[in-house]
Structure 1
């Protein structure tokens, strides 16, 4: 996104002229000395094309026109085989890294909330062989506790080293792993545990104390709770028949010769590896059944599409492991994984992220920019726009190894649109999941088989294919609302743009087909709003400032400017009556 260049037009023209002269003078030396020619050619090559020649697709990556890759290595068709292969080939190399917590302090934030600030030490690494042994003994211990192959087991835990060890153990012993976001509410957690009939759950001490304990009586089949923490405290008031154990105790049990000697039932490629519950943002969380072959195809696509990926790369994990992108990235055994930590110390080369994370980073950076002097701010904006212009001339991201086609006529998107075909993105290939767990009604809505027997997933995202084969997501199907005049409005786009405003912590846009305008519910940033009130000489408590008519008008003015300054799309401006702070 290009930033607004707020400066004298004459000075702006002079700056652009100087930049143009600089670019001309330095281009040839840079082009030949950096040997960037082949890189530019590679970046500008077509990334995907329609395999039928029709604008509606299906589209497929150019180097996968003859077929989609299902695995990286022959015979490595289940996750336990892939990890055993990696542990055998790279036994002494770093696999999982975690920074030691030296101390914790409570830190008061400007908005009045108290956050825990941790002081971290250096990374402590486990090798592939150590992780493999730990996973095998943990899986053996779970089997000794009564966990049976193809019977579900749940993990409700933060992104941490023990999460991945537990997951690898379940893959080895063919225990389908039920994943739940640690941010889910009590009713959603109980729903997931009961729907999947779990008898064993892996969690942390904090989550047991603060999230799970209140709903344990609602999960009657639960028998064992395994805590990943090293020294679990005693847990009184547990339901009758529920036993709490530490992960260390289960591994010690599994390491006994009698238990290790027990034959394990290895999974088949079509067996369920994970039942991954959604975040529940649109209702009750749905469990998505993902087979071993689905995940193998996904990580194979990642390994093929990330340029120059090799065993020297380091991955830092920030997303929850209950997110399919994070799980797939960390299971890609061509890379090393780092757990939550400081990027300046780990110096990772890879990180998976979602738009929400990138929006927060962008917003924090722009807040710092606004605090600069006018000269510094102008220099930053000009340098940023110049950099973005150079990047846009050839460095695009190719498609992952899957194929897709698009159409959605109801919303006004057609594969015959000019200059580029547009429509809903459908995904087909070996990475498409088995569907929702015990939810055939939703399966019929989101999945279908075509006349060739190809299984397709309807993403609900609206995409546009560019001439070079790059797929750009331009809208969200469920976000589109038709206003009274017949105009479609993308509520997600309105929210995404306005969230970048430093005054807004969060925003919910709403529209009704019987009205001609959009309203919004705004959660203001405490520090920014108090600073604005001070500038306008408005005094009072937080509640009084939020209910002050003058502050409401000022917030509306800032939101209006933010919407109108967006140069990528014409945004409807939220109506004044709907702005709540």
Structure 2
């Protein structure tokens, strides 16, 4: 087993080395290496103070705030693109040929699909659909400047709905498709929504269960063609198909859009109220204006060379997140085509793709994609990354934009670290630190949002306007500026915990280090201020843990291995070695751990849709284990806790 793994790794390494050497021989002499690019100055302080504010060296003059002169709202951005590219492919969806249930060796049943080619709508077709749908919503009583919600998976219909709402000035409330019932009800009630767009699956599995908790809701529009017959809904709620609403918005005689009076948006109007995934408490709605989004996508466009109609973007991340929405908007503004996918169908080996058939990337062959490492489980070494970047001809072959921190995509204009020579954050961060000034990262620019919806207290805490009228957002991230203007995120304010003896521990820092351990797929560090040491909950890597068990001659089912004290102790040893190698302090290293049988997914409620840890929920879920590891429970409770892990039940 170990020989075959080593041999396969050797083959991959030799292939990469040979192909890289061939590339170096063939590449043009004037191309810049990745190393040269990495050494360039990225940003400079525009105040002369080492702690900032800093600005991108490519934007030392006035910041660009729009893609085209006079185009200041999102509906105008798309209309301009339609005028230039009416017959180009715009939105594509793969045809579903068949689906079947496949039984696994362990008895579990997975649904597998066989998909055909992508079917495309042109820019002109999308424009007509969004106009008819917006008119249909108006016919159903939706008013300008009154909130409307979308609770749907990423798909072509999502962006058609969004564009219709932008055109008719309906502020769009976005909700993650993985949110639980209470969070969905909270968002709909807070935004006082009467109309919602959703999918057939989400209506039946989630939305239907909380309808009685949303008294203002009157109209449900389902994006799927066929509605499930025989379903009953509370009195006063009407359910429509998207096709029916579009027909309602079209003239009965010639099929053209009705000349319904509409109030076009202005740049300062709210385009989206984007509800967060709720890492702490209930989700908060973030108000984002048309000008905010246009400023953001202008910054993105400047950083993607030669973006245009020859590019194909693959959309699979949640459109309810600003990263995916911004990425798709910048593509539509530049005449690109967007093919839709999902994490379950992205690659040939994805979970829903039937063995022997093609995943979406193989069929679509995209030139653009947005990605976050936690979603794709990326673990590229710097050398591997340089090899791949050397192979990429800028803007031609493929642009893989890996976003290690989505904040930097949301706000690509100005970065600023607080400077008050006497300001000290817990953990000893000072703006006077040398050689790298450190402190909380503040972000300013025309794309900084309007703030949280109906949350004055949080707005006061996280946003402020300086003497020059510049609006700033306090990110809660701790960063340090390097000499070349590179900003490195090193901590989170909320992740700092003071131990019993007074030492400050950064839980995020500990987790970032220990995720580099091959045995760890995910980890949550935890510390109680009344205790003297850190503990941890670990989602182990199945392949690595099974190999460890084999070396230690420990046998059993997966659940038995995760609950085996010998395995737990061995994993802790490996984690400790990783921590010491990374030079963590002794008090930062977890002294006890608990292995989780199940991975943490948004469906479990233990991580957000962006796979950020929900510390409050994790603490509740592992409360018995916390008490066990801190010595507050007897053996009976320990047995009960481990049994709960075997069954996967929450406490």
TM over 0.5: yes
| Offset, 1:557 | 2.5
Q: Name the residue aligned to 2:447.
A: 431
Q: Name the residue aligned to 1:186.
A: 181
Structure 1 residues 109 and 455, CA, compared in 2 at 3 Å: closer, same or farther? Answer: farther
Structure 1 residues 147 and 565, CA, compared in 2 at 3 Å: closer, same or farther? Answer: same
Q: Name the residue aligned to 1:349.
A: 367
**1-structure distance, mates of 2:236, 2:555:** 58
When structure 1 is superposed on structure 2, of 284-293 and 48-57 the one drifting more is: 48-57
Q: Per-residue displacement from partner, 1:52-80 (whole Å, max 9, x unpaired)?
A: 11112111122322322110101110000
Contact 1:70 1:430 in 2 (8 A): yes
| Offset, 1:212 | 0.7
**1-structure distance, mates of 2:505, 2:34:** 39
**2-structure distance, mates of 1:502, 1:109:** 26
**2-structure distance, mates of 1:355, 1:476:** 19
Structure 1 residues 98 and 70, CA, compared in 2 at 3 Å: closer, same or farther? Answer: same
**2-structure distance, mates of 1:497, 1:39:** 25
When structure 1 is superposed on structure 2, of 68-77 and 562-571 the one drifting more is: 562-571
**1-structure distance, mates of 2:504, 2:390:** 33
Correspondence 1:158 to 2:153 = yes
2:196 is paired with a residue of what secondary structure?
A: strand
| Offset, 1:546 | 3.1
Structure 1 residues 223 and 66, CA, compared in 2 at 3 Å: closer, same or farther? Answer: same
Contact 1:396 1:470 in 2 (8 A): no
Contact 2:572 2:593 in 1 (8 A): no
The partner residue of 1:82 within 77, 81, 96 is 77
Correspondence 1:311 to 2:309 = yes
Correspondence 1:507 to 2:508 = no
Correspondence 1:169 to 2:187 = no
Q: Per-residue displacement from partner, 1:186-240 (whole Å, max 9, x unpaired)?
A: 0000000000011111000110111111100100111111111111122522000
When structure 1 is superposed on structure 2, of 265-274 and 118-127 the one drifting more is: 118-127
Q: Name the residue aligned to 2:552.
A: 536
The partner residue of 1:125 within 115, 120, 127 is 120
Report how many aligned residue pairs link the two structures: 544
| Offset, 1:126 | 1.2
1:121 is paired with a residue of what secondary structure?
A: strand
| Offset, 1:132 | 0.7
**1-structure distance, mates of 2:587, 2:65:** 42
Q: Per-residue displacement from partner, 1:21-66 (whole Å, max 9, x unpaired)?
A: x99x998x778x3321599877654222111111121111223223
Q: Name the residue aligned to 1:10.
A: none
2:429 is paired with a residue of what secondary structure?
A: coil
Correspondence 1:98 to 2:109 = no
**2-structure distance, mates of 1:248, 1:136:** 13
Q: Name the residue aligned to 2:577.
A: 561
**1-structure distance, mates of 2:413, 2:389:** 29
**1-structure distance, mates of 2:567, 2:373:** 30
Q: Per-residue displacement from partner, 1:340-383 (whole Å, max 9, x unpaired)?
A: 1422222222222224224x233xx8xxxxxxxxxxxxxxx897
Q: Name the residue aligned to 1:336.
A: 337
Structure 1 residues 252 and 571, CA, compared in 2 at 3 Å: closer, same or farther? Answer: farther
| Offset, 1:464 | 2.1
| Offset, 1:387 | 4.4
When structure 1 is superposed on structure 2, of 183-192 and 306-315 the one drifting more is: 306-315
Contact 2:539 2:595 in 1 (8 A): no
2:430 is paired with a residue of what secondary structure?
A: coil
Q: Which residues of structure 1 form unaligned runs of 5+?
A: 1-6, 8-14, 366-380
**Map 1:379-398 → 2, pairs under 5 A:** 384=384, 387=387
| Offset, 1:292 | 0.6
**2-structure distance, mates of 1:104, 1:531:** 35
Q: Which has the higher contact order (CA 8 A, sep 6+)?
A: 1
When structure 1 is superposed on structure 2, of 216-225 and 501-510 the one drifting more is: 501-510
**2-structure distance, mates of 1:150, 1:270:** 12
Contact 2:372 2:402 in 1 (8 A): no
Q: Name the residue aligned to 2:9.
A: none
**2-structure distance, mates of 1:523, 1:110:** 22
| Offset, 1:307 | 2.8
Q: Which residues of structure 2 form unaligned runs of 5+?
A: 1-5, 7-12, 347-359, 392-400, 598-651
Contact 2:94 2:115 in 1 (8 A): yes
Contact 1:556 1:579 in 2 (8 A): no
Structure 1 residues 457 and 123, CA, compared in 2 at 3 Å: closer, same or farther? Answer: same
Correspondence 1:417 to 2:433 = yes
Q: Name the residue aligned to 1:261.
A: 259
**2-structure distance, mates of 1:415, 1:388:** 36
**2-structure distance, mates of 1:307, 1:416:** 37
2:378 is paired with a residue of what secondary structure?
A: helix
Contact 1:483 1:515 in 2 (8 A): yes
Contact 2:371 2:402 in 1 (8 A): no
Structure 1 residues 422 and 186, CA, compared in 2 at 3 Å: closer, same or farther? Answer: same
When structure 1 is superposed on structure 2, of 405-414 and 568-577 the one drifting more is: 568-577
Structure 1 residues 502 and 183, CA, compared in 2 at 3 Å: closer, same or farther? Answer: farther
Q: Name the residue aligned to 1:476.
A: 492
Contact 2:148 2:173 in 1 (8 A): yes
| Offset, 1:564 | 3.8
Q: Name the residue aligned to 1:375.
A: none
Q: Name the residue aligned to 2:275.
A: 277
**2-structure distance, mates of 1:250, 1:237:** 20
Q: Per-residue displacement from partner, 1:104-148 (whole Å, max 9, x unpaired)?
A: 233456887644332221111111111111100000111011111
Structure 1 residues 470 and 310, CA, compared in 2 at 3 Å: closer, same or farther? Answer: farther
Q: Name the residue aligned to 2:296.
A: 298
1:352 is paired with a residue of what secondary structure?
A: strand
**1-structure distance, mates of 2:547, 2:248:** 58
**1-structure distance, mates of 2:559, 2:156:** 43
Q: Name the residue aligned to 1:148.
A: 143
